[in-house]
Amino acid sequence: MTQQCDWLLGNLRLATLTDSEIPYGAIEDGAVALAGDRVIYAGPATDMPDLAARRRLDGRGRWATPGLVDCHTHLVYGGSRAPEFEQRLRGASYEEIARAGGGILSTVAATRLAGEDELYTSGRQRLLRLLEEGVTTVEIKSGYGLDLESELKMLRVARRLGEDLPVTVRTTFLGAHALPAEYREPGADAYIDMLCRDMLPEVARQGLADAVDVFCEGVGFSPAQTERVFEAAAAHGLPVKGHVEQLSDLKGAVLAARHRALSVDHLEYLAAADTNVLAEAGTVAVLLPGAFYYLHETRLPPVAALRERGVPMAVATDLNPGTSPMASLLTAMNQACVLFHLTPEEALRGASVNGARALGLDDRGQLVAGQRADLALWDIDSPAELSYGLNYHRPGALFQGGVLQHDH
Ligand code: NIG
Ligand code: FE
């Protein structure tokens, strides 16, 4: 009997992003078949099995890519940091502002005050900007609440966004993002005690987080404090990731790799020699060129060493009010090429398959049978165009979980 499928997409060029000698794992004259929320065929049209399709779509020669994955955002928050942007342009550094109680803590104050609906509405606006560019999976961190109720509030908002919009939302508990003002006395160790004893267990109990993150930095938490959070996460069965080596080299990446972190993020100060440990642990290196750009950083992450060791590199927006108010993953891909010297193919893999791996997801990010039916069709001549032009491209058609969102 002829097998049924829900969608047959023909006349496509496929950037499958499989491991292949061929750039982008490209297949000209490609076809894709979807059944339910899965891809059941992606390959040359000529090899396509005989399928009875409920609906068909003419790709008109467009390029199909997997739906994009933004694996690092802080897009739920209250307030704005435009005044701090002005301060920094007058010469104040990010760290000076943070130590004076501004920076992350000013967003904490605004986020604590904001009602859940208000956070939802502003977060939704930012998330919609990402979806317009073909993002079908996004990670959202907490970390602007820094008390139990406010952290739970942020995570509930993130979950609700994923229920209401055509996107998979993965949430990350980032209670160890900054030391809240009320803990300046007794200090960071006391805050981490409370986080491990009260916050993390309750977040885990309510099933509100898929992973746990720590800002390991001079203006954040020490490696010893970071490790305690990682241990608490493991005790609750949650995988970890880390903001590490963004402003200095505290060896946070090595620590995270020892704890089998899904990813280590930022990495401008990562020592080239430490890339070995990441390769062995299978930890993804998440590059965040938006924060590098906004902070006028000059030190580059060790991309050549990461590439040489075969550490998977992801690219994400880091969408946040302080260091990366940038709701555009395609822009992050362009910046990864221009600022960090990634190839456009690395940037695209970084914003799809490797982004998915940074979230512990292996069911998406490539156009192959068995993967989730998240895919975007682009009216471009080659996949490099996605990283080449700024604000040139939007997907002409987008499927999320096998459901056609639009076809222009
Ligand atoms: O990823 N590095 C720490 N956290 C964010 C910045 C958050 C903020 O400044 O509000 C980041 O860059
Ligand atoms: Fe971040």
Q: Tens digit of pLDDT for each residue in 182-202?
A: 999 999 999 999 999 999 999
Give 24 Cα–ligand 2 centroid separation in angstroms.
28
Segment 201-218 mean pLDDT: 98
- Whose C-alpha lies nearest to ligand 1, atom 12? 323
Structure tokens at 122: 């502003």
The rounded distance, in Å, linking the Cα atoms of 330 and 360 is 22
Above 80 in pLDDT, residue 1? no
Ion ligand 2 neighbours (CB, 5 A) are 318
Q: Is the CB of 246 under 6 A from ligand 1?
A: yes
How do beta strands 26-35 and 38-44 pair? antiparallel
Above 90 in pLDDT, residue 2? no
- Whose C-alpha lies nearest to ligand 1, atom 3? 215
Q: What are phi and psi of 236, to 5 degrees?
A: -100, 10
H or E element: which one contains 358?
helix 353-358
Distance of CA 106 to the CA centre of its chain: 23
The per-residue DSSP string of 300-321 comes to PP-HHHHHHHT--EEE----BT
Question: Which parts of 206-285 fold into alpha helices (H)?
Answer: 223-235, 252-258, 275-281
Q: How many CB atoms lie within 10 A of CB 328?
A: 20
Q: Say what the pLDDT of residue 19 is.
A: 95
pLDDT band of residue 163 (cuts 50, 70, 90) is: very high
Q: Is the CB of 142 under 6 A from ligand 1?
A: no
The 10s digit of each residue's pLDDT in 41-58 is 999 999 999 999 999 999
3-state helix, strand, coil in the chain (%, to 5): 40, 25, 35
Question: Which of 75, 215, 245, 296 for a ligand 1 pocket mutation test, highest count of atoms within 8 Å of Cβ?
Answer: 215
pLDDT band of residue 98 (cuts 50, 70, 90) is: confident
Q: How many CB atoms lie within 10 A of CB 117?
A: 10
Q: Say what the pLDDT of residue 95 is.
A: 87
Q: Say what the pLDDT of residue 298 is.
A: 97
Q: Say what the pLDDT of residue 102 is.
A: 87
Q: Is the CB of 320 under 6 A from ligand 1?
A: yes
Q: CB of 272 within 8 A of CB of 251?
A: no
Average pLDDT taken over every residue of the chain: 97
Question: What is the arrangement of strands in the sheet containing 240-244, beginning at the earlier edge strand?
Answer: 68-70, 135-141, 168-176, 211-216, 240-244, 263-266, 284-287, 313-315
The 10s digit of each residue's pLDDT in 126-143 is 999 999 999 999 999 999
pLDDT band of residue 301 (cuts 50, 70, 90) is: very high
Segment 222-243 mean pLDDT: 98
Segment 154-179 mean pLDDT: 98
The 10s digit of each residue's pLDDT in 311-362 is 999 999 999 999 999 999 999 999 999 999 999 999 999 999 999 999 999 9
Q: CB of 63 within 8 A of CB of 292?
A: no
How do beta strands 284-287 and 313-315 pair? parallel
The rounded distance, in Å, linking the Cα atoms of 95 and 116 is 29
Structure tokens at 52: 């009875």
More confident position, 405 or 100: 405
Above 80 in pLDDT, residue 383? yes
Give 252 Cα–ligand 2 centroid separation in angstroms.
15
Q: Say what the pLDDT of residue 391 is.
A: 97
Above 90 in pLDDT, residue 112? yes
The rounded distance, in Å, linking the Cα atoms of 317 and 159 is 19
Percent residues over pLDDT 90 in the chain? 97
How do beta strands 397-400 and 403-407 pair? antiparallel
List 173's β-bridge partners, or say none: 212
Q: Is the CB of 322 under 6 A from ligand 1?
A: yes
Segment 286-299 mean pLDDT: 97
Q: What are phi and psi of 136, to 5 degrees?
A: -120, -10
Above 80 in pLDDT, residue 262? yes
Question: Which of 320, 324, 326, 335 for a ligand 1 pocket mutation test, highest count of atoms within 8 Å of Cβ?
Answer: 320
